[in-house]
Amino acid sequence: MTHTAFIGVGNMGGPMSRNLAQSGQEVKVFDLSPTAMQAAAEGGAVPSQSATQAVEGAATVITMLPEGKHVKAAYLDEGGILDTAEPGTLFIDCSTIDVASAREVATAAKARGFRMIDAPVSGGTVGADAATLTFMIGGDAADVEAARAQLEKMGKTIVHCGGSGNGQAAKICNNMIGGITMIAVSEAFCLGERLGITAEDLQKVVAASSGSCFAVTNYLPVAGPTPLSPANFDFKPGFMTKLMLKDMRLSQMAAVETGQPSPLGAQAAMLYAMAEQEGLADLDYSSIIHLFNKGRVK
């Protein structure tokens, strides 16, 4: 058992698998999308015909899939990862999913003699490319240590947040902040434009003032001041609106379950649902600015 299996090599998993492969280890990848497989192969990974083929004999299995239902199916379905992996294999799920699904899969994995951590990430496709992701981890301390060398090849900050599912808990709290602040920044930059201030000047001011946040310093929804943000590339993702909507809904489900009032999170979830209806689902989530500018700000 030497190689790493990587299942789901889309916008995030693609560059993450490339960084692992370029560190010198054998990485066998599988994705339902031929385009994603092609890109991963160009990054140095070995394409497999199926998830089963990738997982057979792997020391570590990493998954980076869209939602809880995909993760549950990949691990728990007949012939899935739990049926295929060798006992003792370490599973690292980097997808952003609901806490309950993360705990269900980890419990099933441990009952079958596997080790598993939930390790969702922050930092976006830029962080995935540059291997500067933040990993927030739920699971046993020994399993986090066993995963550390692999995670350090894909990221720079590793925070162990407690038992299974706690990585996902940290992630949905973080993304609730990210989703809300992107809307605030969109509104403010549209207002600034109406008031006659350029996006360049406003960005310089806010980045050095109390309104500063990731959406202003790295990911402005207006082309120009932050050169790597998707606004400079016709809002090509990045992080799709439909995935941000998923995360906002996860935060609201958690708020209901725990009785925590979350009025801005609820409003933001509604606005991303409206953005999806406006045809922005597959664009980057920063395209939510289109709800406020209607053709004025590019």
Active site residue 236: no
| 64 part of the interface to ligand NAD, by CB under 6 A | yes
How many Å apart are CA 219 and CA 59, to the nearest integer? 36
Nearer to ligand NAD by C-beta: 192 or 221? Answer: 221
* Residue among 29, 27, 21, 37 at smallest CA distance from 3: 27
| 178 part of the interface to ligand NAD, by CB under 6 A | no
Q: Which stretch binds ligand NAD (CB under 6 A): 176-184, 237-245, 250-258, 259-267?
A: 237-245
| 51 part of the interface to ligand NAD, by CB under 6 A | yes
| 138 part of the interface to ligand NAD, by CB under 6 A | no
Q: Helices 34-42 and 13-22 sit at what angle, rounded to 10 degrees?
A: 30
| 179 part of the interface to ligand NAD, by CB under 6 A | no
**CA-CA-CA-CA dihedral for 146, 150, 154, 157, to nearest 10:** 30
Nearer to ligand NAD by C-beta: 77 or 86? Answer: 77
Q: Which residues pair with 284 in a beta bridge?
A: 240
Give 240's DSSP letter. Answer: B
Among 3, 5, 10, 216, binds ligand NAD (CB under 6 A): 10
| 214 part of the interface to ligand NAD, by CB under 6 A | no
**Omega before 238 within 30 of 0, i.e. cis:** yes
How many Å apart are CA 92 and CA 115, to the nearest integer? 9
| Touching ligand NAD, residues 238-297 (CB under 6 A) | 238-239, 243
| 190 part of the interface to ligand NAD, by CB under 6 A | no
Written as six digits, the tokens of 28 are 């066998």
User: Which residues are the active-site residues?
Assistant: 171
